[in-house]
Structure 1
Amino acid sequence: MPDTPRILVVSAGARSPDGPEPLDLLGRRFLVETVACDGDTAAARRAVREAGDGVAAIALDGFSPHLELGCRTALHPGLATLLDQPAGIRVVDGQGVRPALERWGVALAASAQPGIFARASVLMVPGLGHGGAAQALSRHARRMRFADPAIFFGLPELLGIGSARTLAAATSATLARLREADPLLIERGRDEAVRARSLVRAFRRADLLAGSAAMILRFGPRDLSGKTIVVDHLRPDQLEALVRRRADRVVTLLPGLAGDGPAGHPSAVIEALLAAVCVERGLEPDEDAYLDLLADLDWRPAIRELKPGRSGVHRFAFVIHPLRVEQIHRHPLFRWTRVLPDGVVERVAARMPPIYLGRIRGARSPATGQAIEGLLYSLGATPRMMMRMGERPTYRRLIRVARLAERRGARIMGLGAFTSVVGDAGITVDREVDIAVTSGNSLTVAATLEAAKTAVRMMGTADLSRGRAMVVGATGSIGAVCARLLAQAVRDVVLVSIEPERLIALKRRILAETPGARVTIATSTTRHLGGCDLVVSATSAFGQRVIDIARARPGAVICDVARPPDIGRAEAAVRPDVLVIESGEVIIPGDVDFGWDIDLPPRTAYACLAETALLAMEGRFESFTLGRELSTERVKEIFRLFRRHGFRIAPLRSFGEPVTDGMIAEKRRLAARLRADPELFERTCREAADRLAQIPVSAKGVRAARRWDPMTLASRVFESLGRRLERRRRARA
């Protein structure tokens, strides 16, 4: 055998490439020579019989003696003679490696781009010879159909013909008929099937076409918009044809062995190369030996975006929901609900399916140039309704959003506001869907602490390490990690929670992590609030006042992380010397258009949304932050990524308004007067407490529902409908 062994490819194609092609596999170089037979079985037999010296193995490309469908295989008698080995040369048709490589390729593609196959409607074109792909894709698909009955036999789509359910029952009969069929029919299908109505409908309903590129192009429609194409290998001319037909993307499952050449080679070529390596190493070329060799290959399937502007764009999804009933009224589709009782609107909206709001466009990393695009969805439930209905309805709607987003190309989904609080903070949703899920709480913590540090400095406390900080809701997921990180910087922290047993455990953990820290625990803010320079509020409490702002220290900073917020504008107004800021909000790099009014300034996002966008920008399609136990290491890691990609903490805001230098100056002036005059401070605290007592206790910003009798409710409904009909009549006139 010469130094560079030869692989002979006997192809059913009409044209041979110019000269041999060098291919490298497992550290060995081969020269691959192709003989085109244009579907002529006799010519293929001659090519096999006349293989010259130095041929290490022969690959049959397009001539398939082994017929594989589902879990069964059969040998075609008219093609079986091609497997006769001349002078001991191994002759293969790819069946020894194709099923394993297809299954492996699907798994690798799904890992590289989570959700790429999720909930797809799959049409196998054909299933014959692609059982590995069919089996692997069935684990992701919501529906599987097979074009084989129409392609090979011209059968209509009746009585479940072509469905996955009938495959097992029909496999034996199908293989028996195909064993008697013309080899050209097996390779190319029936000519009249191109116009078969059942096949046209099947292509129209599918959003993922898998199998043979030649068959998909032969029988598929001229317009493949919205389709993902999954094939074992792809020639350059076939790739050009898919681009002309406007397919969305193409996935080639088999390894590409020629550097910059077309992704993937026919399975017969790969098996021939493996067989040659086996012979050189003294191994028997069988499936077990192939698997051992394949395990040493370092490769990934090629995933190509075919539409301009889509290639290289990472997509994410994010879920929001109304914090108050007023936000439901502001939606263009539901403005008419303003005449209805808030309680009725709130209950009905909570049971609505998720709504797609729009796309987030224009974000791009200045460090890497990576562009991202977001899909914005909304649930209809307010936080109060989420708590009232229990976690299961919210889980179902979040899972539905994830699956909708998967089909639109999203690879990670973020949970906004109360959706990250309900239940197990994303763990169940993550378990039920293919794309990654993150609560966004890691960046929420990092952004909150950065904003709090800025606010404290603005209010005149230059060195917070000598001050005191309080965390309210300290045993929650955000509160606990805030407390652990604050203890490292401030050294004197007060932890407040209604769960004393978890407070004790958290105190012990902080003391173990940060020796020398002073940690005080309490179930109420009452005793310790007056001595704290910084208060971080991160509760999920409803219908109660968690912070008595009247007792706050002069010039204190309260950072309200909770969504909806724990402190209302009217409550903050009783102590004008205290600065109440919203949790850290983030400016995303690029010319960002959120496609929807999220109640924030331009380019500014909530930290939980920004974490999802940041992970997409970094290409970290993983469930980064889940559950109630946050990691300080993850918080530090996400902040490093935050800086790397040019994200910035947004200017501070207080109740939707920017915190100005004039506002800070006035608060510092008032705080200085109160600190200098203890009697004035005591009087101010009493007056603030009296005013606070007159303010109704807020239930997370959702006002209590008014009671309406049935007749009044009915009259309001008919009044609203009448107004809409009148507007339509006038518009037509």
Structure 2
Amino acid sequence: MKHSYRIAEISFGRPHWDAAYEFEFNGSHFEVQRFSVNFSVDGVRRLIETLRNQVDAFALTSLPPVIKLEQKSYVHRQYLEIMGIPSPVPLCDGTGLREIANINSLVKKIESGKIQPEGGIFFPSAVFCAELEEYIRHRYRKSVYIGDAYSLLGVPWLIQPFPGLMTLSKLVLNVANFKDLRNNTPLAETKLQKMSRSSLAAQVENVQYVFCDLPFLLLFDSAATEFVRGKDLVIWSSHPLMEAEVKKYNPRSIINLFPENYRVHPYMNYSVLDATLRLVHNRTAPLSIEEWEQLMTEDTEIRQVARKYVMTRNTSTQAKISKGINVVKNKILSEKEPDFAFVIHALSHSDFMRVPGLSALKYMPKEWNDSFDKMASKVPPFVHGHVKHVISEESGKEINGIIYALPATPKVLKNTDPEVVYRKIEGICYDAANRGAKMIGLGAYTKIVGDQGITINQNSPIPVTTGNSLSASATLWALNDVVKKMRLLNQDPQTGMVDGMAMVIGATGSIGQVSAKLLSLVFKKLCLVAPRMNRLQELKETIQKMAPGCEITIATDANELAPQADVLVTATSAFDHKIVDVMLLKPGAVVCDCSRPLDFDIEDAKKRPDVLIIESGEVILPGPVEIDFDMGLPGKAVYACLAETALLTLEGQFEAFTMGRDIEWNKVKQIYRMARRHGVQLAAIQGHTGIITDKEIELTRQLALSKRNK
């Protein structure tokens, strides 16, 4: 009796090549329907849940390397199980089959002279065909060139193999472990196309062969022309439309390693072949490497070669991954969905050294820092950690947060096209929404790029807040606390106004504006500093109406009036120059630096022990909070902008609370009251060398008094 089977092919990529087709194999009839999910793991989940009672097998094409790259035959076997999708229907991705068949075909073509590796081979992404790269490199080391640094990081290097290369590639892909890459910037849409390729093209010029997975190659678009023009292109997955498209890059020939005896349809690929063979052999579980080896390789000598480069490439990996799989699975099953999300990034090059495994960067020559920072920024955003068990003192409600990281410094972000940054953050927003987050906050420079969150919020599936309302509130909260302890300023008993001058540097920015407005209600004198005089004049007029009793002056250079200021609040993004000379500050002045990166460094603090320089007010969230990553803050302290995101989630107030340049001062008051109700506390006052104690404050006060009395 003739059997008929239905296979749903789910492609992780884009829908360009979706189709339905039929073929006959081994006396059975097969119907295949291809579905593409546009880089959405959630889309994979939904399709499997929807179709599992309608098909006989799933063929999973181009899955992302979610856990490890070694021993994929074992890892991908459990991929969907880790995602929490129970399914009695075979889940087939061709792993194991592909590696064995590729080595089998390659050896035959080399023996027949159809491929001559001595002519030079270029792997744009060797990490995706490790067994082929290792086999050829072992025999033709000087002829092999690898371009993973270019294709995965966007760095225009052409690298001959060295021991650490695959580790670098694995790091790149492991940190890209997004649950949903749908909105993550595709390689073809980044600056990869715009980069100079002259050095790359020159080195590839004399290479005869290019080995690359066809769908991955097509991501490069015009960059692929430099790879394949005039070369023999060696592939192992095919599709008539894909081949037609790649021919516009003018390869000399296209050599397909897919075994000819199994090419029963032009659309056949390894995942569909995996499903076909398992259905024919009545197997639900994946076939082992040994079984694929017996099925695909007739020649005993070739079989031994395949075994060496596929099965025993790393004999210790199986046990390690088995243990790692269980750890990851248990962690995923035990974790609750996040209620909110937050985005951070490296505030300086030194922040990279806090990432596990990168501490050795401190030994790298400083002149390499900028190059490393630019390279690191090519790595996609990734989940950096979690903030768990935030519990409201008012309602007892518990929430958890997920923290994403952009591996880019402010200098790199400032010099990056805002549209590129937008797309990266919007990708994070979609991923957070898919994980269950109800809102997301922007940290540090991510809320300054472009139009300060407005575009990101418009394109995000969940509300976005910059967190600047609580940042401003916590800044003044900390400032008030320290000024009282310094005991150098007097308060007018009749008006309640402080007899002194407050200066706000960066006064026309979002935090600067609202800080200036609130300080005008407390200080008799206020100095506003910013680069543009016209905007300063507008702000002065606005504040004068609010606080007619405050004397307001404006300046474009902070050094002009810095010697008169008793309190300074800095809220700038001037990471590349000094905004004020610390030596001009008044003895006993209190500086609250809420810029990220900081406007004042540790050397400034050392020069003026009679001036108290504090960082902006960090806070402590209520509850037995757990933070499983290094934020660069002591204990359980978090940035106020993160706390605002958590507070709005506790309140159930899912809205773009703080957005754009202008912060409503009444919202600053509102979020402050909300913080106190839910139990948020001001963290210990932080300086450049750690927590500032009351004893240190008193010592600063005494030094200031001694200088004033001279």
- TM class, shorter-chain normalised? 0.5 to 0.7
In the TM superposition, what are the counterparts of 1:355-504 in structure 2 within 5 Å? 355-460=382-487, 461-463=489-491, 465-504=498-537
Which is further off, 388-397 or 594-603? 388-397
Aligned equivalent of 1:158, options 22, 32, 36: 32
Larger Rg: 1
Unaligned 5+ segments in structure 2 are 1-7, 23-28, 39-49, 65-79, 87-331, 492-496
Which position in structure 1 is the counterpart of 2:553? 520
One-letter identity of the residue aligned with 1:666:
L
Q: Partner of 2:667: helix, strand, or coil?
A: helix
Q: CA deviation at 1:516?
A: 2.5
Q: CA deviation at 1:227?
A: 6.8
Which position in structure 2 is the counterpart of 1:561? 594
Q: CA deviation at 1:351?
A: 1.6
Alignment of 1:332 onto 2:191? no
Q: CA deviation at 1:343?
A: 1.9
One-letter identity of the residue aligned with 1:351:
K
Aligned equivalents of 1:383, 1:194: Cα separation in 2: 50
CA deviation string 1:470-524 (max 9, x = no partner):
0001011110111111111213200011110100000010112222221111111
Q: CA deviation at 1:200?
A: 9.2
Which position in structure 2 is the counterpart of 1:197? 56
CA contact (8 A) 2:383 2:405 kept: yes
Aligned equivalent of 1:540, options 573, 593, 608: 573
Aligned equivalents of 1:612, 1:525: Cα separation in 2: 33
CA contact (8 A) 1:538 1:561 kept: yes
Could you say if the C-alpha distance between residues 195 and 523 of structure 1 is closer, same or farther in structure 2, counting changes exceeding 3 Å?
Answer: closer
Alignment of 1:506 onto 2:380? no
Q: Partner of 1:468: helix, strand, or coil?
A: strand
Q: CA deviation at 1:339?
A: 3.2
Q: CA deviation at 1:333?
A: 3.9
CA deviation string 1:506-552 (max 9, x = no partner):
00101122222211111112231122110001111132211112111
Could you say if the C-alpha distance between residues 157 and 490 of structure 1 is closer, same or farther in structure 2, counting changes exceeding 3 Å?
Answer: farther
Which position in structure 2 is the counterpart of 1:99? none
- Measured on the aligned residues, the alpha-carbon RMSD in Å equals 3.7
Q: Partner of 2:372: helix, strand, or coil?
A: helix
Q: CA deviation at 1:326?
A: 1.6
In the TM superposition, what are the counterparts of 1:160-175 in structure 2 within 5 Å? 160=34
CA contact (8 A) 2:425 2:456 kept: yes
One-letter identity of the residue aligned with 1:422:
V
Aligned equivalents of 1:574, 1:535: Cα separation in 2: 17
Aligned equivalents of 2:339, 2:60: Cα separation in 1: 30
In the TM superposition, what are the counterparts of 1:41-60 in structure 2 within 5 Å? none
Q: CA deviation at 1:163?
A: 7.9
Q: CA deviation at 1:465?
A: 1.9
Which position in structure 2 is the counterpart of 1:697? none
Aligned equivalents of 2:506, 2:82: Cα separation in 1: 53
Q: CA deviation at 1:199?
A: 6.6
CA contact (8 A) 1:323 1:382 kept: yes
Could you say if the C-alpha distance between residues 401 and 466 of structure 1 is closer, same or farther in structure 2, counting changes exceeding 3 Å?
Answer: same
Q: Partner of 1:352: helix, strand, or coil?
A: coil
Q: CA deviation at 1:194?
A: 3.7
Q: CA deviation at 1:195?
A: 7.2
One-letter identity of the residue aligned with 1:624:
F
One-letter identity of the residue aligned with 2:342:
F
Q: CA deviation at 1:637?
A: 0.9
Q: CA deviation at 1:364?
A: 0.7
Q: CA deviation at 1:648?
A: 0.8
Aligned equivalents of 1:649, 1:164: Cα separation in 2: 45
Aligned equivalents of 2:338, 2:374: Cα separation in 1: 36
Which position in structure 2 is the counterpart of 1:344? 371
Q: Percent identity?
A: 38
CA contact (8 A) 2:338 2:402 kept: no
Structure 1 runs of 4+ off > 6 angstroms?
Answer: 162-165, 199-202, 222-225, 307-311
CA contact (8 A) 1:314 1:617 kept: no
Q: CA deviation at 1:599?
A: 1.3
Aligned equivalents of 1:225, 1:672: Cα separation in 2: 64
Which position in structure 2 is the counterpart of 1:672? 705
CA contact (8 A) 2:575 2:597 kept: no
Q: CA deviation at 1:416?
A: 0.8
Aligned equivalent of 1:321, options 341, 345, 352: 345
Could you say if the C-alpha distance between residues 158 and 474 of structure 1 is closer, same or farther in structure 2, counting changes exceeding 3 Å?
Answer: same
CA deviation string 1:586-638 (max 9, x = no partner):
01111111110111122210111111111111111211111111111111111
Aligned equivalents of 1:142, 1:614: Cα separation in 2: 38
In the TM superposition, what are the counterparts of 1:234-383 in structure 2 within 5 Å? 315-337=339-361, 338-339=363-364, 341-383=368-410
In the TM superposition, what are the counterparts of 1:545-624 in structure 2 within 5 Å? 545-624=578-657
CA contact (8 A) 2:615 2:686 kept: yes
CA deviation string 1:452-481 (max 9, x = no partner):
111111111353622210000101111011
Q: Partner of 1:664: helix, strand, or coil?
A: helix
One-letter identity of the residue aligned with 2:524:
R
Q: Partner of 1:565: helix, strand, or coil?
A: coil
One-letter identity of the residue aligned with 2:651:
E
CA contact (8 A) 1:591 1:603 kept: no
Aligned equivalents of 2:483, 2:31: Cα separation in 1: 70
CA contact (8 A) 1:157 1:198 kept: no
Q: Partner of 1:642: helix, strand, or coil?
A: helix
One-letter identity of the residue aligned with 2:371:
V
Q: CA deviation at 1:432?
A: 1.2
Q: Partner of 2:653: helix, strand, or coil?
A: coil
Aligned equivalents of 1:199, 1:149: Cα separation in 2: 15
One-letter identity of the residue aligned with 1:610:
A
Aligned equivalents of 2:435, 2:373: Cα separation in 1: 29
Q: Partner of 2:591: helix, strand, or coil?
A: strand
Aligned equivalents of 1:611, 1:594: Cα separation in 2: 16
Could you say if the C-alpha distance between residues 142 and 504 of structure 1 is closer, same or farther in structure 2, counting changes exceeding 3 Å?
Answer: farther
In the TM superposition, what are the counterparts of 1:31-46 in structure 2 within 5 Å? none
Q: CA deviation at 1:388?
A: 1.5
Which position in structure 1 is the counterpart of 2:668? 635
Q: CA deviation at 1:409?
A: 1.2
Q: Partner of 1:625: helix, strand, or coil?
A: coil
One-letter identity of the residue aligned with 2:531:
I
Could you say if the C-alpha distance between residues 227 and 632 of structure 1 is closer, same or farther in structure 2, counting changes exceeding 3 Å?
Answer: farther
One-letter identity of the residue aligned with 1:196:
V
Aligned residues: 418
CA deviation string 1:344-370 (max 9, x = no partner):
211101221012112211211111111
Q: Partner of 2:583: helix, strand, or coil?
A: helix
Aligned equivalents of 1:421, 1:656: Cα separation in 2: 27
Could you say if the C-alpha distance between residues 396 and 195 of structure 1 is closer, same or farther in structure 2, counting changes exceeding 3 Å?
Answer: closer
CA deviation string 1:157-200 (max 9, x = no partner):
6254x7899xxxxxxxxxxxxxxxxxxxxxxx99xx84732479
Aligned equivalents of 1:330, 1:319: Cα separation in 2: 17
One-letter identity of the residue aligned with 2:388:
R
Could you say if the C-alpha distance between residues 327 and 164 of structure 1 is closer, same or farther in structure 2, counting changes exceeding 3 Å?
Answer: closer
Q: CA deviation at 1:555?
A: 0.6
Q: CA deviation at 1:223?
A: 8.1
TM-score by length of 1: 0.52
